Amino acid sequence: MRFHKEGWPSLLLVLLFSAILIGIARYFFPQFAIAHWFAYLVSAFLTVVILQFFRHPKRKHTRGDNLIIAPADGKIVVIEETQENEYFKDKRLQVSIFMSPTNVHVNRYPISGMVSFFKYHPGKFLVAYDPKSSTDNERTTVVVKHKNGTEILFRQIAGALARRIVWYCKQDDVAEQCQQMGFIKFGSRVDLFFPIGTKLNVKIDDVVKGSQTVLAEI
């Protein structure tokens, strides 16, 4: 199990806070063992939370030229036809993955191809289950064009706890299926938009794993 590079600032802050908390407990309450243990337990809990959240497990990736692979861990919470107004400006099949704070939060490319569009949108921090989070929350929009001409749009969407979206891509980059394209800190979601008629391999409430679960076929 590896620790993701995006977690180092958070881990250092927690370690600094823990050192201060333990120092206060030992300096101001030298005779109260319960204060010392409280400081130790809080420090240990916060450290474990950060280590768990920013874990980066090694995985055997699922790859296939005609496959769309889950870009994130989580649960399928939306499957519906909807109007996509930012890029396609027509009806698309939307599939949304909700990422809880216990999920691995690495985001990956679902297909290989060329990044034909990228845009970052500042915004609100509505709960990720809210339908408006897809258009109102802080988010990125990424479109990857497959070599057969099919374009897949997906969005990293901040949630009520997620206050920082990280991305490693820009327009005209070469996208490699299952390669890291970003990270979302704390609870959030990823929306994908497929052409109408795309054959899905998942259903509502399915639990998926990034870089492993096949969502659909091109």
What is d(CA 7, CA 12) in angstroms, rounded to the nearest whole number? Answer: 9
Q: Which of 216, 213, 208 is nearest to 100 (CA)?
A: 208
Mean of the per-residue pLDDT values of the chain:
91
Q: In the listed set 29, 56, 83, which residue is the last one of a domain according to the structure? A: 56
State the residue range of the domain holding 29: 2-56
119 and 148 share one domain: yes
Number of domains in the chain: 2
Whole-structure pTM value: 0.87
78 and 172 share one domain: yes
Residues 6+ apart with CB under 8 A from 47: 11, 14, 15, 18
Q: Are the beta carbons of 155 and 72 closer than 8 angstroms?
A: no
What is d(CA 166, CA 120) in angstroms, rounded to the nearest whole number? Answer: 10
213 DSSP 8-state letter: S
38 and 86 share one domain: no
> Does residue 62 lie in a domain region?
no
Q: What is the pLDDT of residue 162?
A: 53
Task: Compute the chain's Rg from CA coordinates.
Answer: 20
What is d(CA 20, CA 82) in angstroms, rounded to the nearest whole number? Answer: 50
Q: What is the pLDDT of residue 160?
A: 62
What is d(CA 152, CA 190) in angstroms, rounded to the nearest whole number? Answer: 13
Residues 6+ apart with CB under 8 A from 46: 14, 17, 18
Q: Are the beta carbons of 175 and 71 closer than 8 angstroms?
A: no
Q: Which of 43, 96, 112, 188 does the annotation list as catalytic?
A: 188
> Does residue 61 lie in a domain region?
no
Q: What is the pLDDT of residue 120?
A: 94
What is d(CA 65, CA 56) in angstroms, rounded to the nearest whole number? Answer: 25
Q: Are the beta carbons of 37 and 89 closer than 8 angstroms?
A: no
Q: What is the pLDDT of residue 130?
A: 60
Strands (E) across 73-179 are located at 74-84, 90-99, 106-108, 113-121, 139-145, 151-158, 165-167, 174-175
Average pLDDT over residues 93-103: 92
121 and 176 share one domain: yes
- The rounded Cα 65 to chain-centroid distance in angstroms is 23
Tens of pLDDT, residues 167-206: 999 999 999 999 999 998 766 889 999 999 999 999 999 9
130 and 213 share one domain: yes
Q: What is the CATH number of the domain that holds 134?
A: 2.70.70.10
Q: What is the pLDDT of residue 131?
A: 60
71 and 50 share one domain: no
> Does residue 80 lie in a domain region?
yes
96 and 182 share one domain: yes
Q: Catalytic site residue 116?
A: no
> Does residue 75 lie in a domain region?
yes
Q: What is the pLDDT of residue 133?
A: 60
103 and 208 share one domain: yes
Q: What is the pLDDT of residue 75?
A: 96
123 DSSP 8-state letter: -
91 and 152 share one domain: yes
Tens of pLDDT, residues 196-218: 999 999 999 999 999 999 999 98
Q: Residue length, the chain? A: 218
Q: In the listed set 34, 56, 78, which residue is the last one of a domain according to the structure? A: 56
Phi–psi pair at 74, nearest 5 degrees: 150, -160
H helix intervals, the chain = 8-28, 33-53, 133-136
What is d(CA 22, CA 15) in angstroms, rounded to the nearest whole number? Answer: 10
